[in-house]
């Protein structure tokens, strides 16, 4: 077996697509989509030496309330008015739901003796800790360790906690920069779009998965 452990991202991999929750939030709050897209593009830039608000949120340097205020100040409503800063991130993630098929995949891997872990960039969203702590080991969340994807140190920390060489670990994420970051440190990596395709791609690397059936 060429894969001894699989490390999953959380939002957009173990959950329904984050973009769907964002779209619902924009519509419900009457936010001008272009104002959010513009801000997101700017803040996801990898070129800021001091880190953008997203980077500082992901590493725990910025509180959720502080980020809410900064984000709201950059947004406008479809009517041109201001956006209420209270609870912005909570509303942004409100429509995100667990994807049962991906949790089933993680369960199947464990049944085959493959270790499963979690590596997530936190945006202050609440994780189902009881569920993920029982299933995944290690659980590495950016805001708790002060490191974020796609930078190498967070992948290296995850590998240290697994105690495995990079080439024996498969990383699954829905964001291409994070997949590329994992490959840069020597990990195998898959770009996730939906559960069936990810399972099929994983079965090509772990043949036992193709014939495995849960009871």
Residue 50 in tokens: 């001091």
For tokens 């049962």, the residue is: 100
Q: Is residue 215 pLDDT above 50, yes or no?
A: no
Residue range 162-205, pLDDT digits in tens: 999 999 999 999 999 999 999 999 999 999 999 999 999 999 99
Angle at 37 (CA atoms; ends 50, 35), nearest 5 degrees: 100
Beta-sheet strands, E only, within 110-181:
115-120, 139-141, 169-173
Residue range 127-167, pLDDT digits in tens: 999 999 999 999 999 999 999 999 999 999 999 999 999 99
SS3 state at 34: helix
Are the C-beta atoms of 188 and 169 separated by less than 8 Å? yes
| pLDDT the model gives residue 1 | 53
Residue 149 in tokens: 């994807």
Measuring CA to CA, which residue among 209, 169, 194 is closest to residue 4? 169
Name the burial class of residue 49, with classes exposed (0-12), middle (13-18) and buried (19+) by CB atoms within 10 angstroms of its CB. Answer: exposed
Residue range 11-63, pLDDT digits in tens: 999 999 999 999 999 999 999 999 999 999 999 876 666 789 999 999 999 99
Q: Is residue 214 pLDDT above 60, yes or no?
A: no
């Amino acid at each position: 077996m060429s894969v001894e452990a699989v490390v999953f991202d959380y939002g957009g991999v173990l959950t329904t697509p984050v973009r769907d929750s964002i779209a619902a939030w924009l519509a419900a709050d009457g936010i001008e989509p272009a104002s959010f897209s513009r801000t997101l593009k700017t803040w996801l830039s990898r070129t800021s030496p001091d880190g953008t608000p997203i980077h500082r949120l992901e590493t725990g340097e910025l509180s959720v309330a502080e980020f809410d205020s900064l984000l709201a100040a950059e947004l406008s409503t479809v009517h041109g008015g201001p956006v209420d800063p209270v609870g912005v991130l909570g509303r942004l993630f409100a429509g995100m739901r667990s994807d049962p098929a991906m949790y089933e995949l993680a369960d199947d891997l464990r049944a085959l003796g493959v270790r499963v872990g979690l590596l997530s960039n936190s945006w202050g969203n609440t994780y189902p800790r009881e569920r993920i702590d029982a299933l995944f080991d290690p659980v590495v969340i950016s805001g708790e360790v002060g490191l974020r994807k796609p930078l190498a140190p967070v992948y290296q920390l995850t590998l240290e906690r697994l105690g495995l060489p990079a080439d024996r670990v498969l990383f699954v994420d829905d964001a291409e920069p994070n997949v590329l970051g994992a490959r840069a440190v020597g990990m195998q990596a898959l770009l996730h779009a939906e559960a069936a395709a990810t399972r099929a791609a994983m079965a090509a690397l772990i043949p036992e998965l193709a014939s495995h059936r849960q009871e």
